[in-house]
Structure formats: structure tokens, C-alpha cells
Chains A and B, each alone.
Chain A
Amino acid sequence: MQGCNRSQKIAICTVGLPARGKTYISRKLNRYFNWLGYKSRVFINGNYRREICGTECNSQFFDPHNETAQKARSDCAKMALQDLIQFLKNGGDVGILDGTNITRERRLQIESDLKQSFNGIQTLWIESICNDSKVIQNNIRLTKINNPDYCNVNSDEATIDFLNRIKMYEQIYETITDDENLSYIKTINVGADIIVHQVYGFLLSKIVSFIMNLHTYPRPIYLSRHGESQYNVDDRVGGDSDLSELGEMYADKLADFFFKEFPTKETKNEIIFFTSTMRRAIHTSDVVASKLDIQPLQLKTLDEINVGICDGMTYTEIAQKFPSDFQERKINKLGYRYPRGESYLDLISRIEPVIFEIERSRQPVMIIAHQAILRCLYAYFHQNEIPEVPTLDIPLHCVIKLTPAAYFCDEKRVLINPQTGEISIKEEYVQEFVRSKSKQKSFIDL
């Protein structure tokens, strides 16, 4: 549906005390928009402050009575906003301003600056409120201790200083009220309670649905292709071929792998299991299903990309029969649509409901599907750039386990030898601590 309503610029601003998940929400939304095809970017007030004022700012810096610090912070905030406006002027579609913005005065200023810069810009304010001290402590532990502000401080000191910083902000916190005349969404206690005020429009309505489904439960997502199929062996595209002998062996070994991953009956029953309606995926899933005694849901939305008139051909045959299409696809694999078939962009649009379902789920998710489909799903959770999608490496006979964490996604690849059952594992834990220390840029550079 991204074809609709591209003309309007959108600015989203966060509101809330520190450690309320504003950056988490901004990043998630940013990911979602970019994945849907909108040019979107996050502008983090905190990063501007770090660059300009340095990172040795303890909680005193945030005292509302500290005039010099206040001026400095206000200047930084203005710069972030200016950059956002510039981004929108230079072709951006969605700008996200990630900052505390806890006073009416600040909000009204930002709203007025935005409305003046663009005719017809849509602005949306997202306030994150949290009264659950456990959640806040957890947030601090997960994301603040590794923050560049505390790189020379031990974690206990860091926590105390950060809690003091929050107290500074609390002194002047003014929650959004209706008379400020802003379109806003308030999310309270991680989406348990949501208030929506004057939010209209295609994209803004989608944002509400998206935020409703966000949570911070760290559940794993398992992605695997079906076992090797007949068409894989013949190097053909499309079709609805069945598994080859090797493919069947993979299905067995895959079932064994999952059997070990989910040892108890309770864990097994929790699994959300999706597959497509194509033979090769169904047969692979059936083997896993019967070993674990669970039922997969067959979704047509997970069917492999439709290759239209090229169905059943090898790449060589396509190159011979349709040379200009073959060239076109090489140049623009993302946007190229097979005649009577689909493009990767169509695929991304098609699987959006599945993305929502996975985001919403707080239980482990298992998906057995196809290469193009998994490229799209993987790219969304792993936060790859869209142009990379058609060339991502999703090999046969490999289980990819993704565990979305605060700002990034941990990945574990389990390559299973279908004949011997031998397993080799490649892990990629995102070391936020290492990243933030060595490359300060990375924090700004979202």
C-alpha cells in the first residue's frame, strides 16, 4: 500500500522521562517506515548533546536551574530539529525527533517550527509513560550503562547518577494535555494502556496499530527454508515441487534440532508455527510438527515469490528466452516484477501482516518458508537496508535464530548437514558496549 499518500511529510516527536523507551520506539518506527519504503530517519537529541557538550555530563548538567547547561541543551535540541527539517526538505518522508520534550513550551516551539517549515506537514507526538520501577530499572541496565555518557564509570555509580538525572527531569515534567492542540499517542506501561488524540491519516493510523503491538519480551524467531526441493536440484525457479531425498533428510534433522531446543511440553505448546501452502514447505513442516506434536498454520502469505511467466525455467533458460528481463532484474532485483508475477517490493507489502503478527507475539516463533520470503522477514528484524534484501544470504539447510534485543538483533546460524546431522554454529552477538566505546559515531548514526 505504500503507493498511497507519499506526498505528505511526517514528523514524529517523542515525549517522556529518561528510560521510558523513547529511543526504542523511535528506532522501531524508523525500521518499520524504512522497510515499507519510506525514507525515514531518527534524530536523537541526546547524541547532539553528547557531540557538542561531551560525554562527561553527570546529572548536575540536567538540573533545570543550571542556566549555562540549559542553554547548551536547548541549542542542541534546536540543531537536531533543524537537521530533521533539512532532511525532510531534501527528500526525506518521515523525520523522527527522539528527545524528552517534557515541557509544554518546548513542544509548542517545535510544533510551530515544523508547521512553519512545511505546508501541510503531519506531526505526531508520542509520549511514553511508565510507572513500573522494575521496567525502568531494567531499561537503565540494558541501555544506559553502556551509553557513552558512562564509559568511565562503573555500573552502580552509573545507575545512581542516571536515577538522579531522571529526578532532574521530573521537576519540570508536564504531560501532554489536549489544549496543546497536538495529535498525540500516549503509551503507558509498555502499551498496556494507550490514548490516541486526533490522529488521522493512513500512516498515522498504522503507527497506532504498530505501537499497540510492541513489547519488550525477548522471544526468539526461528527462520528456516524448506529442505532441498526437486527444483532446487534442477536449478529451476517457481514451481510447486516436492522435497528431494536430501531435503527429506534435512526435515528429519531439523525436527531433531527443534526437539532439543524445546525440551518440555510447555515450551512446545507455546510455539507459534507458520509455514506456506507449498508442498516443499508443508512436507518439511509436517516432519517437524509430528516430532514436536504441534500444528503449523499454513499461510498463503508465506508462499514463495511468484515468478509469473518464468515459472519452471532455469536462470539460463530465462536469460535465453527473456534477455531484456534478465538484464533488468540484474540491475534492479528489488523493484523488478516478473511479468504476471511479483517483485520483492510486492513481497514486502504482502508479508506485512505476518510482520505484525511476529511483533505482537510474546512466544517463540518458528517459520518454515522460502528464500525470497525469508530474505524479507530477516531484513526486517535484522534491520538490513532495503536494497540489500534481494541478495541476502539465506542458504538451504540452515536455521537462523534471531533474538531481537533493545536496539539490535542477536543472530545465531545453525547449519545442519542433512546427511550426517552435524551442526555448525555461527553466532553474532551485538556487543553494544564495544560498539559504543570504540565508535561513538554509531550511536548517532542510526
Chain B
Amino acid sequence: MQELGKQQKMVIGMVGLPARGKTYISRKICRYLNWMGFKSKVFNIGNYRRQICGTDCNSNFFDPGNKDASKARDECALLALNDMINYLRNEGDVSLYDGTNTTKQRRKLIMETLQQKFSEVQVFWVESICNDEDVILRNIQLTKLNNPDYVGKSSDEATQDFQQRIEQYTKVYEPIDMDENISFIKIIDIGNDIMIYNIQGFLQSKLVSYLMNLHIYPRPIYLSRHGESQYNVGHKVGGDSDLTQTGLMYAKQLGKYFVQELEGNRNIKMITSTMQRALRTSNEVCELLGIEYYSLKALDEINPGICDGLTYQQIADKFPQDYEERKMNKLTYRYPRGESYLDVISRVEQIIFEIERSRLPVIVIAHQAILRCLYAYFHEHEVPEIPKLNIPLHQVIKLVPAAYYCKETRIKIDPMTGHWEIQDEATIKKVKSFLDL
């Protein structure tokens, strides 16, 4: 369905005081759009300011009365705007303009500049409003203190300075008004209240649905393939084969893993496909946990069409052309009478919404291609990488969403011995994420 949104380029402008989750939201939207096939990029005005004015800016820099600083900040905003327009002209479909944009004047300036330089573009505003002091303080602690602006300062100093910075912005803050005649969504107190005005088009409509499902509850997501199946052993694709003995043992060990991991909490959600190997695995786990699972056709493995039941060797022999085509472009190649990875992404989108929405831990027991697509979404991989991602059998991938990224832990479970091997990838991700905005 993503073809429908391709017709127009779009700019999404963020609005809100500091520490209101604008960067969080823009990154989420960017992630979602890229995953759906729309080339998107976030242009963070703060980063431009840091590059041009340096990182030694205390709260006085943000005083609206400070004429020099205001001029410098305006220039940064326009620079970011120009880069954004260039991106859209060249390869991008959607640009996200991540800045405070807290005055009517600034918003008007942006609308007029866009109208002048790139009139075919659609503009959509997302305003984040938060009045909960606890949430704001937590945001500051989680994301601002490690900000390059505060390198070398104690966390108390940094917090105080940042709160002063917020006050500077508050002096001139004008929330979006309907008479500005712009399309917008206001998200208040993390979705407690939402206001939608003048939404137009396929993409805006989808984004609103998406945004309504976001929250900041740090619930874990567990992804696992079914246990080893008969076809896995025979190296065949497709089919609806059952588990092997080893596969069954994995299922039981998986159940034991969850019993320990969940520590008595049975308030969780488990979803699986309608295929035998996944159902049997889920059955074993659910029996041990004493919960029920939901079986969804949307989680069924990629349909290999006419190649169903063949080994890769047999496919290479019988359909050499298709075999080559798939090697060259595994993402878009569609098995005759079957699916492509892009079809799977489309199919699995509703599952993404479900998982995003859920405030309970989610366990997904599914198949390789399906999990590649799900994993890529949460872990921010580039879409072309999806068909090659490493999702081996007999391994649980635990994802815990944190501020701007997902903490990942992989638990390799030996089906025979039940022995676990834990791989933690958290630290590497943390350093990368900030500069990489």
C-alpha cells in the first residue's frame, strides 16, 4: 500500500519546548517511514547549532532577548531547512524538521520558505506538549545529561542549566493555533490527549494512527523462531512441516527460559503464526507458563509460491533465472505465485502497530523472514539489509526500547542441555546513537 503515499514529498515539522520528546517522536516516525519504504531523514536543528555555534552554550544563549544569539539560531534553522529541501529534491520522500519551532513567527517563516522554494511539498506539524514535571525531569536525565552541550559538567549543574533553558523558551512559546491554517497533530501528556486538525492524504492519516499507538513504557519484546523443523533439516523452503525432536526440546527449554525470565508475571502477550512448527513451539511454552497465545495468519512465513518444498539446490536447478534474480535483489524479488520481502513488510505492519501499542511484554514466536522484518524495524536497520539479517534457530532476541534505541540481548539456548549463553549488545549502541541523529 505504500505506493499510495509516494505521490507527494512531505515535511514533518516538530513543535514543543525542550525535553518534550520531539526527538524521540521524530526518530520513531523516521524509523517507521523508512521501514515502510519512504526514504526519510531527521534534520535536528540542535545539531546544526552545536556545529556552528559550538557546544559551550549555556541557557543565556537561548534568551530571546539575546540578539546575536537569536540571529545565529535563526541562521541555523534556515540552514537545516535548506539541507532538508535538498534532501527531498534528490532522493528523500519525507524530511523531519526536529526543532522547537515554538513561535508562530518561526512556523510562518518555515511555511513561507517552503512555499517559495518547494511548493509541491506537503507540510504536517507534530506538537508535543507535556505538563508532567516528573516526565520532563526524567527526559532531561535520560537524554540531555549525556548531550555534548554538557560534557564536563556535573549532572546537577547540567539539569539546572537545562531547566533554565526551558524557561527561556517558555517565555515566547505559542502553541499551534487553528488560525495558522496548518495541518497538525498535538500530542499531550504522552497521548493522554490528542488533537488532530486538517489531516490530508494517505501518509498523514497513517502517521496519525501510528503516533496514537506510541508510549514510553519500557516493556520488553522477545522474538524467537520456532524450534528446528523437518524442513529445516532437509534444507527445504516453505511447507508446513512439524518440529524435529531437537525442535521439540528447544520448545520445552524455551518455556523454561520464560518461566525464569518472567518471574511469575503472567500479564504478557504472546503471538504466533498459524503454521504447525510455530504452533507446536508456542503450545509447549504456553503449557509451562499457563497462558494462551494468539495465532495470526499475518505471522506466517514468507510464501515461496512455486518453490514450496524445494531445496535451494533444487530451485537453482529448476528455476536458474529466478535463483539468480533472488540473489541479486533478495528484497524485492517475488517468488512466482508467492511473496517478496516487501510484501512481508506490508503484511507485518499491523503486527508492528500491535507491538508498539502494547504496554505488556510481548513474545513473538514466528519464522525467519518474518522476524527479520520485525527485528529490522525495532533495531533500526536499513531496509536493504533485512533479507540477510542473522536470526538463527534456537535463540531468543530480547529487545528493550530505551530513549533513542533498543537495548538488545541475545540468549542462545541449547535444546539438548538447556544451557543459556547471553550476549549483550547494549553498550555499543549507546555511543553510536547520540552523534548519529
Contact = CB atoms under 8 A, between A and B. Distances in A.
Interface of A: 1, 3-4, 178, 192-199, 202, 205, 208-209, 212-213, 240, 277, 297, 299-301, 306, 337, 339-340, 342, 346, 349-350, 353-354, 357, 360
A212 B205 contact: yes
Nearest to B201: A360
Interface in B228-275: 240, 274
Nearest to A272: B4
A334 to B, nearest CB: 15
Given A205-B357, A346-B297, 13 more contacts: A3-B296, A192-B197, A193-B178, A195-B194, A196-B195, A198-B193, A202-B354, A209-B209, A212-B208, A240-B336, A299-B1, A357-B1, A357-B202
A1 B350 contact: yes
Interface in B291-327: 294-298, 303
Nearest to B340: A300
B36 interface: no
B212 interface: yes
Contacts of A193: 178, 195-198
Nearest to B3: A297
A4 B205 CA distance: 23
Contact of A194 (B195, B209, B297): B195
A197 B187 CA distance: 10
B1 A349 contact: no
Given A1-B296, A1-B350, A205 B198 contact: no
Contacts of A297: 3-4
Given A196-B212, A297-B3, A3 B197 contact: no
Contacts of B174: none
B329 interface: no
B70 interface: no
A3 to B, nearest CB: 5
B297 to A, nearest CB: 5
B96 to A, nearest CB: 21
Nearest to A185: B194
Q: Which secondary structure characterizes the binding site on chain A? A: mixed
Contacts of B350: 1
A209 B1 contact: no
B86 interface: no
19 contacts: A1-B354, A4-B294, A178-B193, A193-B178, A194-B195, A194-B197, A195-B195, A196-B196, A199-B212, A209-B208, A209-B212, A240-B336, A301-B1, A306-B303, A342-B297, A349-B298, A350-B297, A353-B1, A357-B1
Given A240-B337, A300-B346, A212 B199 contact: yes
B309 to A, nearest CB: 10
Given A3-B295, A3-B296, A240-B337, A196 B209 contact: no
A402 to B, nearest CB: 21
Nearest to A308: B240
B298 A1 contact: yes
A333 B371 CA distance: 32
A201 to B, nearest CB: 9
A339 B209 CA distance: 34
Interface residues of B, number: 35
A342 B303 CA distance: 12
B343 A300 contact: yes
B209 A340 contact: no
Contact of B196 (A194, A353, A360): A194
Interface in B176-234: 178, 192-199, 202, 205, 208-209, 212-213
B161 to A, nearest CB: 34
Contacts of B205: 209, 212-213, 360
B63 interface: no
B216 to A, nearest CB: 14
A5 to B, nearest CB: 9
Interface in B357-381: 357
A41 to B, nearest CB: 25
* Interchain residue pairs A-B with the least CB separation, the first 3: A196-B194, A194-B196, A209-B209
A283 B334 CA distance: 19
Contact of B193 (A195, A306, A350): A195
Contacts of B212: 196, 199, 205, 208-209
B323 to A, nearest CB: 20
B414 interface: no
Contacts of B167: none
A112 to B, nearest CB: 22
Contacts of B354: 1, 4, 202
Nearest to B192: A198
Contacts of B274: 337
A196 B3 CA distance: 29
Contacts of B303: 306
B149 interface: no
A196 B354 CA distance: 19
Contacts of B298: 1, 349
A132 B383 CA distance: 46
A194 B205 CA distance: 12
Contacts of B334: 277
Contacts of B357: 202, 205
A193 B196 CA distance: 6
A384 B240 CA distance: 35
A208 B295 CA distance: 25
A131 to B, nearest CB: 12
B229 to A, nearest CB: 15
A125 to B, nearest CB: 14
Contacts of B199: 212
Contact of B209 (A199, A205, A277, A346): A205
A357 B339 contact: no
Residue from B199, B274, B339 whose CB has the most chain A CB atoms within 10 Å:
B199
A340 B305 CA distance: 11
B4 A357 contact: yes
Given A3-B296, A340-B240, A192 B198 contact: yes
Nearest to B208: A212
B303 to A, nearest CB: 8
A410 B168 CA distance: 59
Contacts of B3: 297
Contacts of B196: 193-196, 212
A129 to B, nearest CB: 13
A360 B200 CA distance: 10
B198 A197 contact: no
Contacts of A1: 296, 298, 350, 354
Interface string B327-338: 000000010110
Contacts of A208: 194, 209, 212
Contacts of A354: 1
Nearest to B194: A196
Contacts of A353: 1
Contact of B213 (A205, A301, A350): A205
A209 B4 CA distance: 17
Contacts of A192: 197-198
Nearest to B295: A3
A357 B212 CA distance: 19
Contacts of A240: 336-337
